[in-house]
Amino acid sequence: MGARDTLFEELGGMPCLDRVHRVFYEKLLAHPWLRQFFQGVRREHLESQQSEFMSKLFGGPDIYRGRNPKGAHVHMYITEEVFQARHDILERSLNEAGIAPDLRRRWLDYDMGLKKALVKTAVSECAGRFGTDPIIAPSKPHYIS
């Protein structure tokens, strides 16, 4: 590893990000509670937006044209519990995608760095992105622990 290697390069670039996000969204969209956050959004869009955002964050090409994390999720009531459940799914996805332990730890550190921008303590902290978006605050089914 050279002094100028980025996490993006060490992971193997966009093919790796795309592979991880395919596994990640497969798991999120199958989750009985978390999938509610993504209703009506095409999986391909979710995957590509996430890969493009992470590319820049990891030192790769700046190709993401979406909103910043806080603005993109302003309409979602993401609690500490929701964030942790999603983070745990990311960790399992990184394992499943064969990401080396040191790179996995670094990726997860970046993910935790986004927590402050995403987690809210009350629904009142949410707002519609376009004035018409509903607030997404799914109830956790009683059978999920």
Q: How far is residue 21 from each of residues 14, 94, 129, 140, measured CA to CA in Å?
A: 10, 9, 24, 24
Q: According to CATH, what is the number of the domain 7-125?
A: 1.10.490.10
CB atoms within 10 A of CB 88: 12
Cβ proximity of 70 and 118 under 8 Å? yes
The pair of structure tokens assigned to 47 is: 């995957």
The pair of structure tokens assigned to 74 is: 């302003």
CB atoms within 10 A of CB 110: 12
φ, ψ of residue 105 to 5 degrees: the values are: -60, -45
Q: Which residue has the tokens 């979602």?
A: 76
**Whether the predicted model's global pTM rises above the 0.75 cut:** yes
pLDDT for the residue numbered 47: 97
Q: What mean pLDDT comes out for the span 89-95? A: 98
Q: What residues does each domain of the chain span?
A: 7-125
pLDDT-derived band of residue 3, with 50, 70 and 90 as boundaries?
A: very low
